[in-house]
Structure 1
Amino acid sequence: MKILVTFLEKLKIKKRRNLFLLGLTPLFLIGIGITIFDIYYYNRILPGVYASNLLLAGKTRVEAEALLKNQIKTPGTITLLAKGKKFDLSLNDIDLSYDIQSTVNSAYHLYRSENIISDIFNKPISLFTIKSVPIVTTTDEGKLNEYLQVISSQVATEPVHPSVIYSGNEVNVEKGSAGENIDNKEFRKNLEQQLASEDYSDIHIPFRTIDPALSEEESESLKKRAETLVEKRITLQHEYDLFSLKENELFSFLDARENFNEENIFRYVEKEISPRVNREPQNAVFRFEGGKVIEFLPGKDGITIDRQLLKDQLIDKLASLETSDEKTSTLIVPVQTDPPKVTTDQVNNLGINELLGSGISKFKGSIPGRVFNIGHASSKLNGVLVAPGETLSFNQAVGEVSSLTGYKQAYVIKDGRTVLGDGGGVCQVSTTLFRAALAAGLPINERRAHSYRVGYYEQNSPPGLDATVYSPTTDLKIKNDTPGHILVQTIFKPFESTLIFEIYGTNDGRIATTTKPVVTSVTAPPEDLYVDDPTLPTGVVKQVDYKAWGAKAVFDYKVERDGVTTYEKRFVSNYRPWQAVYLKGTGVQQ
């Protein structure tokens, strides 16, 4: 019995072993199949893979590329349909090309990954599925957009964006209206899909509706905000340039839905401010001949407007003006700088290494002869060098002022009258130099104010900051008490009616301050004077002099270094009241 039991147990063990081996057989066969599959499709595209309608299965990448290059044919044009119109798009015009290599690589990597285990199960799936990869195409997006813009100009309806207009002391809001534009993004998507599948049938251009129109409530709210900005200003300043933003500019920065229109702010900055502010770095140039600098360019940082910061600051200023009673606000344009490769101190050994001070004056309304004389006289001072301890004499530097030295006739003060004379306008030059010397902290040894207040010298300036000259009796003299030479540089802008003087030299730490001129003893001008003139026909009246109010203007000038006052002076200008003079014709009418 015991022998029988032992036999039966051995029989059961053998049966289980046979069943186990039988179970392993399918797995063994599957493994062999996968191995054969992998060996055959090594470096080949897997089964069921197409590119468009071309079967690539079983081909190497080289074979697949050859097939696609041979089979893909590009038509000359595709017809685009929009609003009942047809447009033939030349595929050559948009630089259409097929990226065969990328297409084949995409096909090759179907069912393949970096995970070996995953690939063992994924690859056989290709035997039972069909997959198609799109043919990769490339086009010149810029050229395509240009073509769409041409179409858009013929079929699109541009939306009218809301705007606020200030006219005749009245604020009006244009609500705007909807429009339809080509949906460029959707069109490119549709075009790529058709080209990828070699479908060259007509394409309907998609449109999208743009509706910026304001509701009645939004329009009224925007109008109320704009009304708070009436007669208010924001002035942007950069170096010598001023940008005045008045009602219509400020209104354009408002937005009924987003509070402020950042796009309009950026657009204004790019169009109006950037061209006058942004610049490349300027390397220094210094050429000295015959005791005078004949060519000088100071090293200047390259400048780029910090658009984001300027936008934020403008919005802050706008918000403040909206909610306060202040009428004006000034903002220094924020910039980013890039230093020059050659600096001013590297091109000379005279101590001329930085800007010490600058002066500016305006002469809007000057007659052509006066404008010419301003440029002519200022050119005589451009490049003048003054050694340490020496004094600059305006009259000596400019030289003789007469028609013989190239000056034209313009109005001058002579013998108590304003008359035409050679060199009218030269005092604009001396006035500007005087202001630059004050800013540079230089001692003023001699200066005299005009006999009466001249309107040119009070354009963007208070009274009392002028300096008249008349050789040989009246001069402007400035001493160089710095440790190095000083260089005078002039910038003449006739079309902007602006003259600028810059003084360069060695900065020894001095700080110059001027008080705001105090105007007192204001006196009305005398009654108009009429003088008979037999050279004019009877009944003709010609004004030859203009009235001006008399006044006394006083300001204090002080220069300090390390907290110690090194120079101070009080400037007193006594302006006489000036009489208007008319010539009254008494001659025979012709």
Structure 2
Amino acid sequence: MFNKEFKKKIKIKLDNLRKDKTFNIWFKVFLSVFFLNIFYFILLLGRISPGVMVAGISLGGKTPEEAIELLSTTITSPEKISLTSNEQVFDIELEIIDFSYDFQKSAQAAYTLDKTGNFAYDIWQKLVLPFKTANLGLRLSLNEDQLFESLSIIAEQASVEPIYPSAKLVNNLVVVEKGVKGQAVDIESLRSEIGQTLAFSKTSPVPLPLVNVDPTLTDEEVEGFRARAENLINKSLYLTFEYQTYTYKNDDVFALLDPKGEYSEEEILSLVTDLASSINREPQNSTFVFDGGRVNEFSPAKDGVSLKIDSLVNMVTGNLRTLETTENKTVSFEIPYETTAPDVKTGDVNNLGIKELIGRGSSRYRGSISSRIHNLSLAASKFNGVLISPGETVSFNNTLGDVSLYTGYQQAYIIKDGKTVLGDGGGVCQVSTTFFRAILDAGLPVIERRAHAYRVGYYEQDSAVGFDATVYSPTTDLKFKNDTPGHLLIQTYTNTAAASLVFEIYGTSDGRVATTTKPITTDVTPPPEDLYTDDPTLPEGTIKQIDWKAWGAKSRFTYKVQRGGETIYEKTFYSNYRPWQAIFLRGTGPVI
């Protein structure tokens, strides 16, 4: 009994002793490791940890200053980087993109790799970095915009442009181009690869990453695209803004279709963006300089305009769908926009009652000879800045003044004594016709107006027949009365490039609204046979046209002016155009 008890106690003591030794050993090991790490960390104070490299250069154990020195003496900044594609080589001079290495930031990045402030992470990094190297890239700087521009130029040369599907109207038949495959440079991938090459100081050329672009249509898609385009033949979209109309028809409309879907968002956005670039404008303050009974300088106040891009994209898409899915031949809608008021309005700069635009008339003169363009521009300038008092009756001829070579006019074709002949001031009737249209738009009473003897093609380029007015001093005039409560101001604009003339009348609106009916044209008669007259002053065999054929017709329209629902002026304008024959001179004289 005693022996068993004693043995048990001895065993317990031996076990405890054994346990104490194990503890001591592990405790000693722990202390050794702990103090070794403390010593290790003390040695690395202010230094980069072992195993850290930058662009393949070992910086372990070095201070940041020593690392900067090593990097700057070891790394040579390249002068260019080469890009390759097949057998082509494209070089980018690094000076162009403002490239440089930043050795200070590179060394600092290496130094702070295991000094993030996260204690556990930093301790772990210090322990594993000697056994697992970290190779960092060099820090660098460059002009990203200039790099992108350089890469875009190279991409344009290296890419194989795909041909995207399209539909064209040729001889009233829809011809579909199914498209051709191409290749494009992946610029974003290329930028990344260039960054890596420079960061790790590599000298090998960078291959251009090319991606295949396949826009081609299947035979089934071709037929579907053709059917959609055929449904839109001679259908038109009309977009209006102020006095301008933008027309899209046939090929322009086909381009808005997505051959593989519904409608092309990219093409519609491109159309809208182009419109915005021509329509958007900043607010314009008014200026008004009055001197010697005439306004020498005037610019009306204009609201700033900003096209509503998203709204217009949706409207174009919706109206295009209407055009495609209905029998409508045309769809017209106004372009949506926002306005910003100017600081100085027209009424703020004068006390004459000139506040706003009350009438506008326009005409085109495509095909005019240079002397005619000169004359109409000169005549229009005589009306620019003219101020008209309340109650005043205006005579076109009196305002225009003398028309002759002595007053700067050149010879151009005029209608005189039933013939088309060269005379001083040919083209002046373009001005009177345009002024007549502005008078009608302003709702002013017309005292005198006469139509031309025959239809003149210039006046029907952007107008129905019958809206012309001829003048010939002193027998034929255009007259109207200012029956508004304030003064009127005339402004003229000649655009030779667009072959257009515009008259604008500014004043104070009294609420009147002017309308004109659609002209009624009757008794349309063909022109007589061409007339050839022998002319001994021309060499034999020479043919010279001196008059041009025109169809005869009678036309009338009614002009009505209302205010507050009451008609204050109404008049029907009649035009009687004679048929006109083409006349040619046939040379019978000696050949020189």
TM-score by length of 1: 0.84
Task: Output aligned runs, 1:520-535, within 5 Å.
Answer: 520-524=521-525, 527-528=528-529, 535=536
Q: Which amino acid aligns with 2:163?
A: V
Percent identical pairs in the alignment equals: 40
The answer to whether the 8 A contact 1:463-1:517 is kept is no
Structure-1 residue corresponding to 2:465: 463
The answer to whether the 8 A contact 2:551-2:580 is kept is yes
User: 1:460 and 1:70, CA in 2 relative to 1: closer, same or farther beyond 3 A?
Assistant: same
Deviation digits for residues 167-226 of structure 1, max 9, x if unmatched? 222221222222223332222222222222222233333322222222111222111111
Structure-2 residue corresponding to 1:575: 576
Task: Output aligned runs, 1:356-395, within 5 Å.
Answer: 356-395=358-397
Does residue 288 (structure 1) correspond to residue 290 (structure 2)? The answer is yes
Structure-2 residue corresponding to 1:6: none
| SS of residue in 2 equivalent to 1:371 | helix
Q: Matches of 1:203 and 1:367 in 2, distance apart?
A: 60
Range with greater deviation from structure 2 (407-416 or 118-127): 118-127
Q: Matches of 2:301 and 2:117 in 1, distance apart?
A: 58
Deviation digits for residues 61-88 of structure 1, max 9, x if unmatched? 4554444334322233444432134455
User: 1:123 and 1:176, CA in 2 relative to 1: closer, same or farther beyond 3 A?
Assistant: same
Q: Of 544, 549, 552, which aligns to 1:549?
A: 552
Q: Matches of 2:535 and 2:85 in 1, distance apart?
A: 80
Q: Of 207, 211, 214, which aligns to 1:211?
A: 214
Task: Output aligned runs, 1:35-46, within 5 Å.
Answer: 45-46=48-49
| SS of residue in 1 equivalent to 2:503 | strand
Structure-1 residue corresponding to 2:4: none
Q: Matches of 1:37 and 1:294 in 2, distance apart?
A: 89
Q: Of 487, 504, 511, which aligns to 2:506?
A: 504
The answer to whether the 8 A contact 1:78-1:202 is kept is yes
Q: Which amino acid aligns with 1:437?
A: I
Q: Which amino acid aligns with 2:169?
A: Y
Deviation digits for residues 301-348 of structure 1, max 9, x if unmatched? 444544444333333332222222222333434445555555434443
* Offset of residue 534 of structure 1: 6.3
Q: Matches of 2:552 and 2:485 in 1, distance apart?
A: 43
Structure-2 residue corresponding to 1:514: 515
Q: Matches of 2:214 and 2:98 in 1, distance apart?
A: 34
Q: Matches of 1:29 and 1:480 in 2, distance apart?
A: 110
Does residue 326 (structure 1) correspond to residue 328 (structure 2)? The answer is yes
Range with greater deviation from structure 2 (52-61 or 129-138): 52-61
Structure-2 residue corresponding to 1:428: 430
Structure-1 residue corresponding to 2:490: 488
Q: Matches of 2:484 and 2:576 in 1, distance apart?
A: 33
The answer to whether the 8 A contact 1:536-1:585 is kept is no
The answer to whether the 8 A contact 1:525-1:577 is kept is no
CA RMSD in angstroms comes to 3.9
Q: Of 254, 258, 262, which aligns to 2:257?
A: 254
Q: Matches of 1:362 and 1:430 in 2, distance apart?
A: 13
Q: Which amino acid aligns with 1:217?
A: E
Task: Output aligned runs, 1:112-127, within 5 Å.
Answer: 112-113=115-116, 115=118, 124-126=127-129
User: 1:433 and 1:388, CA in 2 relative to 1: closer, same or farther beyond 3 A?
Assistant: same
Structure-1 residue corresponding to 2:236: 233
Structure-2 residue corresponding to 1:71: 74
User: 1:39 and 1:393, CA in 2 relative to 1: closer, same or farther beyond 3 A?
Assistant: farther
Q: Which amino acid aligns with 1:219?
A: V
The answer to whether the 8 A contact 1:387-1:486 is kept is yes
Q: Matches of 2:29 and 2:183 in 1, distance apart?
A: 65
| SS of residue in 2 equivalent to 1:381 | coil
Structure-2 residue corresponding to 1:194: 197
The answer to whether the 8 A contact 1:49-1:57 is kept is yes
* Offset of residue 488 of structure 1: 0.8
The answer to whether the 8 A contact 2:77-2:101 is kept is no
Q: Matches of 1:146 and 1:420 in 2, distance apart?
A: 58
The answer to whether the 8 A contact 1:553-1:574 is kept is yes
User: 1:150 and 1:530, CA in 2 relative to 1: closer, same or farther beyond 3 A?
Assistant: closer
User: 1:21 and 1:406, CA in 2 relative to 1: closer, same or farther beyond 3 A?
Assistant: same
Structure-1 residue corresponding to 2:135: 132
The answer to whether the 8 A contact 1:543-1:580 is kept is no
Structure-2 residue corresponding to 1:178: 181
User: 1:238 and 1:20, CA in 2 relative to 1: closer, same or farther beyond 3 A?
Assistant: farther
Q: Matches of 1:457 and 1:259 in 2, distance apart?
A: 41
User: 1:193 and 1:588, CA in 2 relative to 1: closer, same or farther beyond 3 A?
Assistant: closer
The answer to whether the 8 A contact 1:162-1:176 is kept is yes
Q: Which amino acid aligns with 1:459?
A: Q
User: 1:518 and 1:177, CA in 2 relative to 1: closer, same or farther beyond 3 A?
Assistant: closer
Q: Matches of 2:31 and 2:351 in 1, distance apart?
A: 92
Q: Of 302, 310, 313, which aligns to 1:311?
A: 313
Range with greater deviation from structure 2 (247-256 or 580-589): 580-589
Structure-1 residue corresponding to 2:9: none
Q: Of 431, 443, 450, which aligns to 1:448?
A: 450
Deviation digits for residues 102-156 of structure 1, max 9, x if unmatched? 4344334434445556656665555654323222233334444455456556654
| SS of residue in 2 equivalent to 1:434 | helix
Q: Matches of 2:580 and 2:230 in 1, distance apart?
A: 43
| SS of residue in 2 equivalent to 1:110 | helix
* Offset of residue 380 of structure 1: 0.2
User: 1:26 and 1:352, CA in 2 relative to 1: closer, same or farther beyond 3 A?
Assistant: farther
Structure-2 residue corresponding to 1:98: 101
User: 1:536 and 1:198, CA in 2 relative to 1: closer, same or farther beyond 3 A?
Assistant: closer
Q: Matches of 1:352 and 1:25 in 2, distance apart?
A: 103
Q: Matches of 2:521 and 2:163 in 1, distance apart?
A: 55
Structure-2 residue corresponding to 1:224: 227
Q: Matches of 1:201 and 1:585 in 2, distance apart?
A: 79
Deviation digits for residues 420-442 of structure 1, max 9, x if unmatched? 33223222212211222222233
User: 1:265 and 1:56, CA in 2 relative to 1: closer, same or farther beyond 3 A?
Assistant: same
User: 1:235 and 1:208, CA in 2 relative to 1: closer, same or farther beyond 3 A?
Assistant: same
* Offset of residue 227 of structure 1: 1.3
| SS of residue in 1 equivalent to 2:113 | coil
Q: Which amino acid aligns with 1:448?
A: R
* Offset of residue 499 of structure 1: 0.7
Q: Matches of 2:587 and 2:54 in 1, distance apart?
A: 103
Structure-2 residue corresponding to 1:83: 86
| SS of residue in 2 equivalent to 1:356 | strand
* Offset of residue 541 of structure 1: 8.6
User: 1:432 and 1:24, CA in 2 relative to 1: closer, same or farther beyond 3 A?
Assistant: farther
Range with greater deviation from structure 2 (392-401 or 540-549): 540-549
Deviation digits for residues 230-284 of structure 1, max 9, x if unmatched? 222223333444433232222222222243333334445556x456434454443
Q: Matches of 2:23 and 2:483 in 1, distance apart?
A: 110
User: 1:513 and 1:50, CA in 2 relative to 1: closer, same or farther beyond 3 A?
Assistant: same
User: 1:204 and 1:523, CA in 2 relative to 1: closer, same or farther beyond 3 A?
Assistant: closer
Q: Matches of 1:240 and 1:558 in 2, distance apart?
A: 21
* Offset of residue 379 of structure 1: 0.5
* Offset of residue 557 of structure 1: 1.7
Range with greater deviation from structure 2 (446-455 or 251-260): 446-455
Q: Of 222, 242, 246, which aligns to 1:243?
A: 246
The answer to whether the 8 A contact 1:177-1:211 is kept is yes
